[in-house]
Structure 1
Amino acid sequence: MSRITMATALPSRRALACALSLVLFPLAAVAADEETSKDDARTLDRVVVTASPVQPLTFETDPKLPRQPLPASDGADYLKTIPGFTTLRNGGTNGDPVLRGMFGSRLNLLSNDGSMPGACPARMDNPLSYVAPETFDRLIVVKGPQTVLWGPGASAGTVRFTRDTPRFDELGARVQGSLLGGSFGRNDQSLDATVGTPRVYTRLTANRSESGDYDDGNGDVVPSKWRKWNTDVALGWTPDADTVLEVTAGTGDGIARYAGRAMDGSQFKRESLGLRFEKNFRGGGLRTLQVSLFHNGVDHVMDNYTLRDPNPMSAMPMPMAADVERRTGGGRMAAEWGWDDVSLTAGMDTQRSRHRQRSSMGDAYKDMPWEDDAELRNTGVFTEGRWTVAVGQRLIAGARLDRAQTTDLRVAAGVMGMPNPTFGQTRRETLRAGFVRYEHDISGSGFGWYAGLGHTERMPDYWEMFSADMGPAGAMNSFTGIAPEMTTQLDIGAQYRSERVNAWVSTYAGRIDDYILFSYMPGGMMGMMSMASNEDARIHGAEAGVEFRPAKDWTLGGSVAWAWGENTSDGTPLPQMTPLEGRFNVAWDNGRWSFGALLRAVARQDRVVIDQGNVVGRDLGPSSGFATFSLNGGYRFNDRVQLTAGVDNVLDRAYNEHLNLAGSADFGYPADPVRINEPGRSAWLRLNFSY
């Protein structure tokens, strides 16, 4: 691999020119406008490095805020600001989110409260690959099986990227945006513009993100370039302050090169449609009625010739392409009632997803007929209530019942393409979920604690039923051989808030019956073959964080996250568990200038089971610990314009994450698995503006 050059180590000329050109306008505006007070300047917050819970087990943040490390290119990347989250890395973008070592559909991933599962059988385009964080208003995360409102499964947690309803008292317009330039050709633009009256509004959100291959701390090039864009439009009718009817439409596309895969993504086409009605009621028991419909389609193309040259020594020595498509539609209806001490939400949701594919040598796939391989459906009913037992004491509980079914439409299946013995068969499962949580705030002390017990049953997802080459011993395949996964988990935690200190701790312990595990073994010319099986497992872990304000304008903070798992059926560690991680930061902010530093330290992980994991990743062996140091600073010209800059991995360390793919031989990586290194020292400059 080649060494980095001084020219590529600096931000690209085009990116910096784009960012700096708009710096001239706010400077002129500052000279013309009155001096902005410090209090007004604080409407633009400092760089986000670690998020804190807003209530027990719930984290909420504004994804438009600048973030360190380098601002996120996809939804999974932004989640790493929340303790307990990491990503399964495969290069520059589109890593798969992992919470407490749990992966895939154990995380319920929603955008605008609709589901958009990817189409790739190996999750090259996982659901958050299609999420541009800056185009959303809020990121809301509930950890563990502690809500039943947003869909089935969700044993690890629920993640929602949402947009708020804009309201106007008179004819007006609002504009927010950002420009970013950085090392390795990083070049982002984002725009959020709304025009409205008290009765109607139109909102446009758009972004573009681009980067070249990055260089690791050794100066070696890591194939990782990407280019992606998204555009969404919303038309809303607000006849009064309590009603909204909104229609949305969106599209997007992109490319991505992957150092750890045999193919790259040459198309990430997205099409989205949505309809939402919400009505608030005044007086009486009924408070809110919500109805929403969505349709999301993704058309994803993978090949080994657009962004790389075919490797004549690989299993695909000639140009090959695969086109996969998944269309998912559904809806949700929920009503909330409230009385003096009790509130209750009840409703139902449903969705249907259909997957199809085609492949060929080179671009001939465009003329090939589509082949349907799977249809998945789910309908559920839910209720969740909150009872204020006494002042500062709350009882929250919920229950959910789902009916799930999956139909196998594959005519042929398996590595050799043999006739599929389960063609046309349909699996049907009834799934149950519920939780109860007690919360107690001790009056006048700033201290509160909670304890919750949750249970959820999860239907095997598309990847677990259709991507594995084999099912458990004695099963025809994983479609019939894999049982639903059942998780029972206890969550206990506490929070403390005062004028100078915010602190929190969250612990959990769970049992997973029929945990779905992937095992990999050599497959000759086909590379690695996979087998899915059910095992029993135990998990436990903890996260904690503190924020201390020792003096005016100063903040010290830190968080730690630890996850542990064991395969109790085999007496071995649970694979793909995240290592112990700590983040420690210091920030100074006087309302005009700001400065921050972040130290991220990750421990060695030696509790592994080589060649076991999930549909994307497997344990490659023990990983070394590492630490990285980053700096950021910013200046607020006024309450509408903010310039921030940062340097990540200041010491130019060569390191890699434990959850990682092995480098592909197509790019010169050795046959023995080698993890992909993370970026070396990189700088970025970002301009935020609003009107």
Structure 2
Amino acid sequence: MTNRLKLTPVAFILGALFLTNVQANSLADSLNTVRTAEQSTPLPEVVVTAPQMSAPLTVVTDPKAPRQPVPAHDGADYLKTIPGFSVVRKGGTDGDPVLRGMAGSRLNIATDGQQILGGCGGRMDPPTAYIFPAEYDKITVIKGPQTVLYGPGNSAGTVLFERDTRRAQPGIKSNTSIMTGSFGRHDEVASVRYSLSDFYAEAGATRSHSDDYRDGNGNSVHSSYTRWSSRAAFGWTPDDNTLLELSVAKSDGQAAYADRGMDGARFARSNIGLKFQKRNLSPMVKKVEAQIYRNYIDHVMDNYSVRSPLPGSMLKAMNPDRTTEGGRAAITLNLGDTTQLVTGFDMQRNAHTTRMGMGSNPNTVSYKNGPRVPDARFEDIGLFGELTQHMGKNENSRIITGLRTDFWRAVDERKSSANTGNVTHRNDMLRSGFTRYEQDLTTIPMTLYAGVGIVERFPDYWELISKQSANSTSAFGTKPEKTMQLDIGGLYQSGPWNVTASAFYSQVKDFILIQSNVNKGSATGISIARNIAATTWGGEIGAAYALNKDWKLDGSLNTVRGNNRTDNTPLAQMPPLEGKFGLTFDNQIWSLATMMRTVAAQKRFDLNKGNIAGQDLGASAGFTVFSVNVGWKPRKDLLITAGIDNIANKVYAEHLSRRGAVLPGYDQTARINEPGRTIWLKAQFELK
């Protein structure tokens, strides 16, 4: 540990010496650290390390900004830079995001108001696998069950990937970035928008590739990937208050996985959406919005396209797909000078099918010729309303409350013994709601808040269809979860200080636990879904201190614990205590940042239990890694950044990780080891 700690001051000193030799005039203004609970002006960071809350339970960050450490191309890797998030690791990409120890459909993820669901029964493709963050302008995270506006089941929180749809001045805007790095990594991102007075057209494309990375021991990890996406949109904006947009998108790729016997050979997605918005219709009607969309996922996993199969082994491929269609309509009303109501409905339906093939060589694995076999259909209609009431002198206090009712229908279309024969469909009416009080203090620049939320979550495909139950060959009768959670916290802004803190306590009735390696009288283990009673608690704290207009210290800590009250054991898949600490210099031309990420050992576990993303593998060791980056902004539209992640070439693995599989040519590990020393360089050009 001593040797590793010495790297931090060394990095600071080297960076300082480098900066003193730079002959450039500072163009920076004084560091702006003034924030309120309603609005925030971010510190001028060139490279993002750990975004803080900008409003109660809300984090807003720019996905186009470079990240430290450098993430993969997918949504989960971007989210892990936000305090409270972890990722269940599988290799180089497509990990499952985890917020406060909760994974899967407990975390509601929306892309421009749309729902997207993967097809793999083994979670090879969670929703974030189809999200390319560089395509978006903003990521908003709402922690806890503290909104009802964006879909059902957000017991852990809500993540919104959003694009800027404001009317632009006539002309061309573009954003282009290129990144290269260790292990054959290279990313390309390009987007352009051409605007007339009443119309606009925009297009964008991304491509990301990486070879197998090597851990700190120099051992190769089966983790290569190549992914690409493209998007186009056409909009009509006759005035500043009106928008009508048609958008289309396609993406595909392949990825290697170190945790299983198959890889992702196809991740094809096609999307079409239509969106309408009208603002300021009258003093009472602030906004009317509506949209419809269709997402289609065509996923292929096999054991021969991305890896070299053993001689004489049987080759196989599986080809699930899922079609998700949905829509949303809402109206925002000013019921008075201090009262606002957002009300409306959303709906979605999705159908899942699968087919497979086997053969002795790739040409005989004829899954493409087989019929698609449907196994499940889901439908949901949700009605919601969210009210904000400002109170007190100078409206320095607020009550935000919301109610939501969801009408669910699920159909089990399996024709095998997994379908018990009697129960082929089910209907549930589930309710959710929350109330939060926010208070801006008058004596000190601080906002305090407390909120209570209740969420009834319908079991998802991976809990109902792809698992068994403790008592039958079908988990179709699994009960919905009911979560009751208390959230409290505060935001403090004064002079050079910016401090945020949040804490939560949650009780979950009928928590859906996934338990693997259950014998049930067979020679091989199986995976089942069962309802238990659970309790979780924890929180996050972040602080930034501006030493002067150019230098800033910042850090964050987050922790979560949980108990399985039914089995009297720790609740599985809880991430350990984690901290990030950094020192940053940024004068708007040159920047330097160092970051230390330290993770405690996790000794609380429940072997072979967890969620749809992964199960506990046992205790895990703690670790500390150091990273450093420098940036140069020679002009306002050009940014060049470079960094070294894991400077000490540390060998480590995350606690939330899948078990390493036996793969020809690769060393098997208990968990998936993370990349060793990684060097990267990124250039970004923006034309406005």
Q: Same fold (TM over 0.5)?
A: yes
Deviation at 1:525, TM superposition (A): 9.6
- Alpha-carbon distance between aligned partners in 2 of 1:276 and 1:35, rounded to the nearest angstrom: 46
Cα 1:687–1:423 shift into 2, 3 Å: farther
Residues 422-441 of structure 1, C-alpha deviations (whole Å, 9 max, x = no match): 48711111100000000001
Q: Match for 2:56: what amino acid?
A: P
After superposition, give the CA deviation of every residue in 1:124-144 in whole Å (9 maximum; x if it has no partner). Answer: 010000001011011011000
1:604 CA displacement: 0.4
Q: 2:356 corresponds to which residue?
A: 359
Instruction: State the match for 2:333 in structure 1.
Output: 337
TM-score by length of 2: 0.91
The match for 1:81 is 81
Query: Is residue 367 of structure 2 the alignment partner of residue 370 of structure 1?
Result: no
1:411/1:423 contact within 8 Å kept: no
Residue matched to 2:651: 654
Q: Give the 3-state SS of the residue equivalent to 2:129 in structure 1.
A: helix
Aligned to 1:676: 672
Alignment of 1:411 with 2:415, yes or no, is yes
Report the counterpart of residue 532 of structure 1 in structure 2. 529
Secondary structure at 1:60 match in 2: strand
1:262-341 paired onto structure 2 within 5 Å: 262-311=261-310, 317-338=313-334, 339-341=336-338
Q: Find the counterpart in structure 1 of residue 479 from structure 2.
A: 483
Paired with 1:595 and 1:186, the residues of 2 have a C-alpha distance of 23
Q: Deviations over 1:133-162 (max 9, x none)?
A: 011011011000000000111100001101
Task: Name 2:637's counterpart in structure 1.
Answer: 640
CA distance in 2, matches of 1:614, 1:382: 28
Question: Which amino acid in the other structure matches residue 670 of structure 2?
Answer: V
TM-score, structure 1 as length reference: 0.91
Once the two structures are superposed, residues 644-679 of structure 1 have per-residue CA deviations (whole angstroms, 9 ceiling, x without a partner) of 0000000000000000011111246788x7101000
Aligned partner of 2:259 in structure 1 is: 260
Unaligned runs of at least 5 residues, structure 2 = 1-23, 32-41
- Following superposition, the deviation at residue 552 of structure 1 comes to 2.2
The alignment partner of 1:134 has SS state of: helix
- CA distance 1:35–1:567, change in 2 (3 Å): closer
Deviation at 1:123, TM superposition (A): 1.0
Q: Which amino acid aligns with 1:52?
A: Q
Aligned-residue offset at 1:110:
1.0
Q: Which residue of 2 aligns with 1:27?
A: none
What corresponds to 1:599 in structure 2?
Answer: 596
* Residue 471 (structure 1) aligned with residue 469 (structure 2): yes
- Aligned match of 2:424: 425
Secondary structure, aligned partner of 1:463: helix
Return the alpha-carbon distance in structure 1 between the equivalents of residues 666 and 207 of structure 2.
31
Within-5 A mapping of 1:2-17: none
Partner of 1:101: 101
Aligned residue for 1:504, secondary structure, equals: strand
CA distance in 2, matches of 1:54, 1:537: 30
Change (3 A) 1:526 1:594: farther
**CA displacement at 1:472 relative to structure 2:** 2.5
Please state how far the C-alpha of 1:499 moved relative to its aligned partner: 2.5
Is the alpha carbon distance of 1:225 and 1:342 closer, same or farther for their aligned partners in structure 2, counting shifts above 3 Å? same
Mark the CA change 1:234 to 1:527 in structure 2 (over 3 Å): closer, same or farther: farther
Shift of 1:168: 2.8
Asked if the contact 2:439/2:448 (under 8 Å) is kept, the reply is: yes
Q: Is 1:631 matched with 2:628?
A: yes
- Residues 465-511 of structure 1: CA distance to partner in whole angstroms, max 9, x if unpaired? 0111x2122x452012x100000000000110122110011000010
| Separation (CA, whole Å) in 1 of partners of 2:190 and 2:633 | 19
SS at match of 1:76: helix
Separation (CA, whole Å) in 2 of partners of 1:43 and 1:495 = 15
Give the Å deviation of 1:527: 5.3
Which residue of 478, 497, 500 maps to 1:501? 497
Partner of 1:194: 193
Cα offset, 1:35, TM superposition: 9.8
Question: Secondary structure of 1:222's partner?
Answer: coil
Contact 1:408 1:423 in 2 (8 A): no
- Give SS of 1:259's match: coil
Query: Size of the alignment, in residue pairs?
Result: 645
Whether 1:179 aligns to 2:173 is no
DSSP 3-state at the match of 1:78: helix
Quote the offset at 1:71 in angstroms: 3.6
Query: What does 1:148-227 align with in structure 2 at a 5 Å threshold?
Result: 148-170=148-170, 172-227=171-226
* CA-CA distance at 1:54 after TM superposition: 1.3
Q: Which amino acid is 2:51 matched to?
A: A
State the alpha-carbon separation in 2 of the partners of residues 337 and 271 from structure 1. 35
Distance 2:437 2:612 in 1: 36
- 8 A Cα contact 2:229 2:249, kept in partner: yes
Contact map agreement 2:29 2:549 (CA 8 A) in 1: no
Residues 1:387 and 2:389 aligned together: yes
Structure 1 residues 562-618: Cα deviation after superposition (integer angstroms, max 9, x where no partner): 000000111100000010000001100112100000000000001101111122311
Q: 1:412, CA displacement in angstroms? A: 1.2
- Deviation of residue 92 (structure 1)? 0.2
Within the candidate set 389, 397, 403, 1:399 is matched to 403
Task: Give the corresponding residue for 2:610.
Answer: 613
Name the SS for the 1:205 alignment partner: strand
2:72–2:92 contact (8 Å) kept in structure 1:
no
Letter in 2 for 1:173: I
**Which secondary structure does the structure 2 equivalent of 1:660 belong to?**
coil
Partner amino acid for 2:470?
P
Q: How does 1:556-571 map to 2 (within 5 A)?
A: 556-571=553-568
- Counterpart Cα distance in 1 of 2:458 and 2:523: 29
Aligned counterpart, 1:588? 585
The residue number in structure 1 matching 2:62 is 62
SS in 1 for 2:77: helix
Aligned-partner residue type, residue 125 of structure 1: D
Once the two structures are TM-superposed, the CA of residue 463 in structure 1 deviates from its matched residue by 0.3
User: Aligned-pair distance for 1:405?
Assistant: 0.8
Distance 2:193 2:524 in 1: 51
Partner deviation per Cα, 1:74-103 (whole Å, 9 max, x = no partner): 001000121000100000000000001101
What is the identity, as a one-letter code, of the residue corresponding to 1:85?
A: F
Structure 1 position 312, deviation (Å): 6.9
Q: Which residue of 2 aligns with 1:576?
A: 573
Query: How far apart, in 1, do the equivalents of 2:93 and 2:473 lie?
Result: 36
AA at the equivalent of 2:408: A
8 Å CA contact retained: 1:200, 1:237:
yes
In structure 1, runs of 5+ residues without a counterpart are: 1-33, 415-419
> Closer, same or farther in 2 for the Cα pair 1:688/1:158, shift >3 Å?
same
Deviation at 1:72, TM superposition (A): 3.5
1:240 pairs with 2:239: yes
**Contact 2:26–2:589 (8 Å) recurs in 1:** no
> Deviation per CA, 1:299-338, whole angstroms, max 9, x where unpaired?
000000111133479xxx4110000100100000000001
User: For residues 44 and 135 of structure 2, what CA distance do their matches in structure 1 show?
Assistant: 17
Per the alignment, residue 53 of structure 2 pairs with 53
Contact 1:566 1:574 in 2 (8 A): yes
Is the partner of 2:673 in helix, strand or coil?
A: coil
Aligned counterparts of 1:556 and 1:658: Cα–Cα separation in 2? 28
Q: Is the 8 A contact 1:410 1:423 kept in 2?
A: no
State which drifts further: 342-351 or 279-288: 279-288
Name the CA distance, whole Å, in 2 between partners of 1:643 and 1:527: 53
* CA shift for structure 1 position 529: 1.1
C-alpha distance in 2 between matches for 1:176 and 1:247? 21
